[in-house]
Structure 1
Amino acid sequence: MQTILGANGQIGEELARYLHNTVTHDIRLVGRRPSAVNKTDELFSADLTDAEATDRAVAGSEIVYLTVGLPMDSAMWEERFPVMMENTIAAVRNHDAKLVFFDNTYMYPQTAAPQVEGKTPFEPRGRKAAVRARIATRLQEEMDAGRVEAVIVRAPEFYGPGKTQGLTNTTVFNRIKKGERPLVPVSADTQRSLIWTPDASRAMGLIGNTPDAYGQTWHLPIDQDRLTYREMIAIASEVTGRKIRFSTIPLAVFTLAGLFNAPAKEASELMPRYGVDNIFDTSKFAAHFPEFETTNYRDGISQLLSP
């Protein structure tokens, strides 16, 4: 049995497809209101802030994937994420299951320095970044102590199809598809590291079913030919056959908006990273899994904007 905790989002759904098509049909999907991705999926309703419910959800599992996402709400993150991590750790220890934790890069420095797993320090800035650093560190403590067999897989900002959530999808590609002017955060000329969500899920499933991958952190694969927003929008113009003009929203505007608007305030702590190149290094994954094919930006953008 392979179990996905937080199976309702795009990452969980794509992971369920990968596991079903490649690994096993014995899959359990866990969420508040889970829905089947494959005909053979087992559905299990659970609130992961409830320790007993989490334990029941994990029972009988060989591998557990923690892929839970929450709305951009700092107070909610502080209240729920640490509890969900503690409950998951306790459950996998109790049932002797392996754990694959899907993480992000919020805790990394907001600089242009290359981000390399195991080498880049945590320097969280902002409440959400502090929460992510806290729960990743907590799991790492359990791994180092040998109390859980786990692996951390880390992804940069998402872009992709379906339910994919991410600033680039929201402000750039979704607006282009609707015929609206895209809004570029902070700078159109810094290199971005974006991960195609189906690639993230496939790579996570591959790592989770590779025994010698455990006990480590892995950066999930992206197209290493990083593009700027200006270059992405140029590709979008080619794909759609129309000249697409864009507006760049300066950092000061996000900061000012955050004084009056709650969603803007939640996003503002992440904005400084858009003013510098974002170099997310995935060479470790590429060396260990050389046959994995990563979706390049042109193909991803073409899929997103196809009629």
Structure 2
Amino acid sequence: MQTILGAGGPIADELARELFRNHTKEIRLVSRKPVKVNDTDELVVADLTDAEATSRAVAGSKIAYLTVGLPLNSELWERQFPVIMRNVIDACAEHGTKLVFFDNTYMYPGTPAPQTEHTAYQPGGRKGRVRGQLATMMLDAMDAGRIKGLIGRAPEFYGPKGTKSYTNTLVFDRIRAGKRPFVPVSATAKRSLIWTPDASRALALLGNTPDAYGQTWHLPIDPNRKTYAELVGIASEVTGRRIGYTVLPMFVFRIGRRFNPTLDEMFELLARYRQDNVFDSSKFAARFPDFPVTTYRKGIEQILAE
């Protein structure tokens, strides 16, 4: 049995498909309102802030994947994420279950220096501090021998089927709707984006590779990083029409955050849009050289064809 804790989002759904295709037919989906992805999926309703419910959800699992996402709300993150992580670690320790933690890069510094698995945590705000806390809890449990686990870390998403990210929302969703895309902060800084199905397939592969445990892994991206100007240019080629864009400078977000809670929550992350964002996934590429990574062009073609 392999269990997905935090079922329902695009990462978890594609993870369930990939596990079913290539690794196991015994899949358990856990969330407050789980829905089957594969016909044979087992559904478990659980609140992962409840320790007993989390233990019951994990029981009998060989591997658990923690893919929980919470709304972009700092106070909510500070209150719930550490509790969820503690409960999941305790449950995996209790039942002898391996733990695969799907993580992001919010704890990394917003500088153009390459980000590797050894980059020190230097969060620039509350959400970054929470993510650093979760990763540290996971690493401490692994180092202490309480659990056998690994961290799979991803940069910003882009992808199909309702993928939620600033790049999808501001750029590709607007292009698909025939609207002028908005570019956050800079059109000339290179971006590191991960295609969401690639992230899920890589997470499933890591979870089912015994020697991947005990480590942090940067999940695979197309290493040919593009600027937003270049991404919009590819979209122009794909659609056969000239597409312009509007850059939203920092002062727009500074003003907007006073009136819009979503912009306020986004603000701490904007530093990484000012300059190149270089997420290095060469460790994964060296270990899994045959893993097919979706190019930006193929990804954009798929998004705009939906």
- Shorter chain as normaliser: what TM range? over 0.9
Paired residue for 1:71? Answer: 71
Written as runs of structure 1 = structure 2, the 5 A alignment for 1:32-111 is: 32-111=32-111
In the alignment, structure 2 segments of 5+ residues that lack a partner are none
Q: Does the alignment pair 1:207 with 2:221?
A: no
Alpha-carbon distance between aligned partners in 1 of 2:129 and 2:290, rounded to the nearest angstrom:
35
How far the C-alpha of 1:163 sits from its partner, in A, is 2.9
Alpha-carbon distance between aligned partners in 2 of 1:80 and 1:98, rounded to the nearest angstrom:
22
Alpha-carbon distance between aligned partners in 2 of 1:163 and 1:275, rounded to the nearest angstrom:
26
How far the C-alpha of 1:174 sits from its partner, in A, is 0.3
Q: Which residue identity does 1:8 align to in structure 2?
A: G
Alpha-carbon distance between aligned partners in 2 of 1:125 and 1:12, rounded to the nearest angstrom:
27
Alignment check: 8 A CA contact 1:236 1:301 kept: yes
Alpha-carbon distance between aligned partners in 1 of 2:209 and 2:262, rounded to the nearest angstrom:
39
Alignment check: 8 A CA contact 1:233 1:244 kept: yes
Q: Does the alignment pair 1:121 with 2:120?
A: yes
Q: Which residue identity does 1:235 align to in structure 2?
A: I
Paired residue for 1:198? Answer: 197
Paired residue for 1:239? Answer: 238
Alpha-carbon distance between aligned partners in 1 of 2:144 and 2:51, rounded to the nearest angstrom:
22
Calculate the aligned-residue CA RMSD, in Å. Answer: 0.6
Paired residue for 1:181? Answer: 180
Alpha-carbon distance between aligned partners in 1 of 2:33 and 2:184, rounded to the nearest angstrom:
34
Residues 243-286 of structure 1, C-alpha deviation per residue, up to 9 Å, x if partnerless? 11100000121122112221110001101100010000011000
Alpha-carbon distance between aligned partners in 1 of 2:28 and 2:100, rounded to the nearest angstrom:
15
Written as runs of structure 1 = structure 2, the 5 A alignment for 1:158-173 is: 158-173=157-172
TM, length-normalised to structure 2: 0.99
Alignment check: 8 A CA contact 1:99 1:149 kept: yes
* Misfit runs of 4+, over 3 Å: none
Deviates more, 1:156-165 or 1:183-192: 156-165
Percent same amino acid at aligned positions? 61
Alpha-carbon distance between aligned partners in 1 of 2:31 and 2:162, rounded to the nearest angstrom:
16
Alpha-carbon distance between aligned partners in 2 of 1:286 and 1:263, rounded to the nearest angstrom:
35
Paired residue for 1:300? Answer: 299
Task: Give secondary structure in 2 for the equivalent of 1:221.
Answer: coil
Count of aligned positions: 306
Q: Does the alignment pair 1:278 with 2:277?
A: yes
Alpha-carbon distance between aligned partners in 1 of 2:149 and 2:203, rounded to the nearest angstrom:
12
Alpha-carbon distance between aligned partners in 2 of 1:246 and 1:270, rounded to the nearest angstrom:
21
Task: Give secondary structure in 1 for the equivalent of 2:102.
Answer: strand
How far the C-alpha of 1:162 sits from its partner, in A, is 1.1
Alignment check: 8 A CA contact 1:9 1:163 kept: no
Alpha-carbon distance between aligned partners in 1 of 2:103 and 2:188, rounded to the nearest angstrom:
27
Q: Which residue identity does 2:22 align to in structure 1?
A: T
Residues 178-223 of structure 1, C-alpha deviation per residue, up to 9 Å, x if partnerless? 0111000000000000000000000000000000000000000000
Q: Which residue identity does 1:142 align to in structure 2?
A: A
Q: Which residue identity does 1:35 align to in structure 2?
A: V
Alpha-carbon distance between aligned partners in 2 of 1:149 and 1:54, rounded to the nearest angstrom:
18
Alpha-carbon distance between aligned partners in 2 of 1:195 and 1:294, rounded to the nearest angstrom:
9
Alpha-carbon distance between aligned partners in 1 of 2:179 and 2:125, rounded to the nearest angstrom:
31
Alpha-carbon distance between aligned partners in 2 of 1:253 and 1:74, rounded to the nearest angstrom:
21
Alpha-carbon distance between aligned partners in 1 of 2:285 and 2:240, rounded to the nearest angstrom:
34
Q: Does the alignment pair 1:136 with 2:135?
A: yes
In the alignment, structure 1 segments of 5+ residues that lack a partner are none
Alpha-carbon distance between aligned partners in 1 of 2:156 and 2:246, rounded to the nearest angstrom:
20
Task: Give secondary structure in 2 for the equivalent of 1:269.
Answer: helix
How far the C-alpha of 1:60 sits from its partner, in A, is 0.2
